[in-house]
Amino acid sequence: MFNSIKQDIQAVFERDPAARSVLEVVFCYPGFHAILLHRIAHAFWCRGFSFLGRFISHVARFLTGIEIHPGAQIGEGLFIDHGMGVVIGETAAIGNNVTLYQGVTLGGTGKEKGKRHPTIGDHVMIAAGAKILGSFRVGDNAKIGAGAVVLKEVPPNCTVVGVPGRIVAYEGRKVDDVDLEHGDLPDPVEKMFRCMTKRIEHLEERLAELESKDTHLTATG
């Protein structure tokens, strides 16, 4: 657990340029507090003290605005930035060096028993407000755009945006370190509208040419 806590602190310095000292991270970062309390709650949960685990989870939610079920499995180096509204379900599993922004939900889609929450691979970035719902895997090095709703498996090295989530980049460069440039993710809907606009402009020009020819023929006839 202590090694995991050390990795969690290091993750803050790697991914947040505003972090200035270990003391600041330990006392002023709610994302770190939520992860720390979750690791304690998870330890109790795994040893059969389910009520104590849930109670610690509840206290963490009250203090940080981040809800992590004590049954969730979290790897090393998780960074929750600004974390308010983050929800991580009971059977969710998160790999190493994952980044979550505010409002992210790792949830289920119904009342089924067993595994019902997503599994997140290593080096995944999930931007603000994204919802990943269901029992499937988000592959290593994937990026999920802000506000996306992901309902099916995401292969490794993919970029997903939109509602429902659509893959807009596949097998991109390997992520050796954390990529936070989620503001530059492509928008497939905007791209589609641009194509439609160009097509409409072309058709309008063609229609104007045909009308001009028809007017000319009528005048000479």
Q: How far apart, in whole angstroms, are the C-alpha atoms of residue 38 and residue 57? A: 6
Q: How far apart, in whole angstroms, are the C-alpha atoms of residue 139 and residue 58? A: 30
Say whether both 208 and 176 belong to one domain. no
Say whether both 193 and 97 belong to one domain. no
Q: What is residue 188's predicted lDDT score, i.e. its pLDDT?
A: 66
pLDDT tens, position by position, 58-96: 999 999 999 999 999 999 889 999 889 999 999 999 999
Say whether both 193 and 135 belong to one domain. no
Cβ(98)–Cβ(122) below 8 Å: yes
Q: What residues make up the domain containing 199?
A: 187-221
Q: What is residue 215's predicted lDDT score, i.e. its pLDDT?
A: 75
Q: How far apart, in whole angstroms, are the C-alpha atoms of residue 91 and residue 70? A: 9
Tokens of 100: 């979550």
**What CATH number does the domain containing 43 carry?**
2.160.10.10
Tokens of 142: 């994937």
Q: How far apart, in whole angstroms, are the C-alpha atoms of residue 46 and residue 53? A: 9
Say whether both 116 and 215 belong to one domain. no
Q: What is residue 2's predicted lDDT score, i.e. its pLDDT?
A: 75
Say whether both 51 and 155 belong to one domain. yes
Say whether both 157 and 138 belong to one domain. yes
Cβ(139)–Cβ(126) below 8 Å: no
Sign of the C-alpha dihedral, residues 95, 73, 160, 100?
negative
pLDDT tens, position by position, 123-172: 999 999 999 999 999 999 999 999 999 999 999 998 998 888 888 876 65
**How wide is the angle at C-alpha 143 spanned by C-alphas 17 and 145, nearest 5°?**
90
Q: How far apart, in whole angstroms, are the C-alpha atoms of residue 106 and residue 200? A: 41
Q: How far apart, in whole angstroms, are the C-alpha atoms of residue 156 and residue 150? A: 14
Cβ(85)–Cβ(65) below 8 Å: yes
Cβ(88)–Cβ(64) below 8 Å: no
Q: How far apart, in whole angstroms, are the C-alpha atoms of residue 130 and residue 128? A: 6
Say whether both 173 and 199 belong to one domain. no
